[in-house]
C-alpha cells in the first residue's frame, strides 16, 4: 500500500497547555495529540483520524487548528459540554516537570473506536490517562487487525486533591500493555514499571523481556538527550536491545510534544519499512526537531528541517 493510502487513527486528548520552560518563557498553546497530528501531517501523506472528546470551551480554536491540515478528518472528534482539559506544565532546570490538570471530558466508549478498526495503525496516546478504560481497549484489540501502538504516558500518573499529577504504578498495567503491538514509554515511566531505574543494557533487556512476554513485539524507551532504545525478540529466540543516539536539529528550547512526535515518526516509518531500527532512527530525528520548536504553532517547521 502506498503512503498516500495510509489511514492512521490517533486516540487521545487535545489539551489546552500553559508551558513554563526553565528559562522562564511562558507559552500558551494547545497540545496533547495535536503534537502527534502536526508531526504526522508534516512527515507523511496519510489520512489522519483524531479520536477524542473536546470541550466546547475550546471548540473554535481546535476546529481552526485541525482545519489547517487537509489530511485530517474529523469523523472521530466530538465536541462535548464539559470543560476541556487544561494542562499547566512547569519545567525546572533539570527538565523535570510539575503538571497540573484542570477540566476533563468523558471517556471514549467502544462505539467511538469501531469506525477505525480497519485503519493501518491506531495510536493510543494517553495524554491524560483517562481517555478510555481497560475494557474498551481490550474490546478494540480483539476486533482490529491493524497495528496498535501505545504511548503509556499519563497512565502512570495519579492526581491529588489539588489536581497535581504524580507518578504511581498504574493498576493492572500489564493488561494495558498486553493490548499493544508496539509500546512506547520514557525512561522515567519505564523505571516506574520495572521497579528500578534502567541505567544498564542488562536492566533494559530484563524489563523488555517482561513486556514482550505480555504480547507486544517491541518496546521503545525514549531517553531525552540520550536518545532511545528498542527491545525486540531476535531470530535466535533471545532479546535484542538497540540504542539510537539523539539527533537534535538545533538548539533545544522546549521538550513538550517530543514523545508524541517520536511515536508518529516511528509509526509512519514502520508502516512503510517494517523495520524497527529504521523507524526508531527516524522517530529520533523527528523528536530532535520538535524539541527545537515552541508550541504547536511552530510544528509546521518540521518539514523544513527534514528537507535539510
The secondary structure of 24-74 as a DSSP string is --EEEEE-THHHHHHHHHHH---EEEEEEEEEGGGHHHHHHHHHT-TTB--
pLDDT at 301 (0 to 100): 85
Residue that has been written with the C-alpha cell 511552530 in this structure: 298
pTM across the whole model: 0.93
Topology, domain 3-300 = 3.40.1190
The secondary structure of 187-245 as a DSSP string is HHHHHHHHTS---SHHHHHHHHHHHHHHS-SEEEEE-GGG-EEEEEE-TTSSEEEEEE-
Residue 263 near residue 231 (C-beta atoms within 8 A): no
pLDDT at 289 (0 to 100): 92
Closest C-alpha among 200, 214, 97, 197 to residue 157 = 97
And the C-alpha cell for 162?
489539588
Distance CA 233, CA 254 (A): 34
Q: What is the pLDDT along the chain (308 residues), one digit of tens a residue?
A: 344 589 999 999 999 989 888 888 888 889 899 999 999 999 989 999 999 999 999 999 999 999 999 999 999 999 999 999 999 988 887 777 899 999 999 999 999 999 999 999 999 999 999 999 999 999 999 999 999 999 999 999 999 999 999 999 999 999 999 999 999 999 999 999 999 999 999 999 999 999 999 999 999 999 999 999 999 999 888 999 999 998 877 888 778 789 999 999 999 999 999 999 999 999 999 999 988 887 777 888 897 888 77
Distance, CA of 6 to chain centre: 19
Q: Domain boundaries in the chain?
A: 3-300
And the C-alpha cell for 163?
489536581
Give the strand order in the sheet containing 7-11: 77-80, 47-55, 7-11, 121-125, 147-151, 182-186, 218-222, 228-233, 239-244
Amino acid at each position: 500500500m502506498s503512503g498516500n493510502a495510509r489511514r492512521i487513527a490517533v486516540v487521545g486528548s487535545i489539551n489546552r497547555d500553559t508551558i513554563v520552560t526553565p528559562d522562564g518563557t511562558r507559552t500558551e498553546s494547545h497540545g496533547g495529540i495535536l503534537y502527534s497530528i502536526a508531526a504526522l501531517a508534516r512527515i507523511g501523506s496519510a489520512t489522519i483520524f483524531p479520536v477524542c472528546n473536546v470541550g466546547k470551551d475550546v471548540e473554535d480554536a481546535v476546529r481552526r487548528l485541525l482545519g489547517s491540515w487537509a489530511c485530517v478528518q474529523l469523523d472521530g472528534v466530538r465536541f462535548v459540554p464539559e470543560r476541556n482539559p487544561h494542562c499547566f506544565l512547569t519545567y525546572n532546570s533539570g527538565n523535570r516537570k510539575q503538571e497540573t490538570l484542570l477540566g476533563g471530558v468523558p471517556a471514549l466508549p467502544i462505539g467511538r473506536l469501531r469506525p477505525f478498526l480497519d485503519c493501518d495503525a491506531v495510536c493510543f496516546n494517553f495524554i491524560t490517562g483517562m481517555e478510555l478504560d481497560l475494557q474498551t481497549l481490550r474490546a478494540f484489540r480483539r476486533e482490529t487487525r491493524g497495528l496498535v501502538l501505545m504511548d503509556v504516558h499519563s497512565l502512570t500518573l495519579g492526581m491529588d486533591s489539588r489536581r497535581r499529577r504524580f507518578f504511581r504504578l498504574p493498576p493492572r498495567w500489564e493488561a494495558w500493555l498486553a493490548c499493544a503491538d508496539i509500546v512506547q514509554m520514557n525512561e522515567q515511566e519505564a523505571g516506574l514499571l520495572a521497579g528500578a531505574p534502567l541505567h544498564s543494557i542488562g536492566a533494559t533487556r530484563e524489563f523488555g523481556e517482561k513486556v514482550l512476554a505480555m504480547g507486544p513485539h517491541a518496546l521503545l524507551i525514549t531517553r531525552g538527550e540520550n536518545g532511545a532504545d528498542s527491545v525486540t525478540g531476535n531470530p535466535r529466540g533471545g532479546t535484542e536491545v538497540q540504542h539510537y543516539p539523539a539527533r537534535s536539529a538545533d538548539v533545544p528550547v522546549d521538550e513538550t510534544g517530543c514523545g508524541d512526535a517520536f511515536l508518529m515518526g516511528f509509526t509512519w516509518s514502520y508502516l512503510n519499512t517494517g523495520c524497527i531500527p529504521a523507524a526508531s532512527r527516524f522517530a529520533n530525528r523527528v523528536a530532535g526537531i520538535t524539541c527545537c520548536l515552541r508550541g504547536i504553532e511552530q510544528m509546521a517547521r518540521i518539514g523544513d528541517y527534514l528537507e535539510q
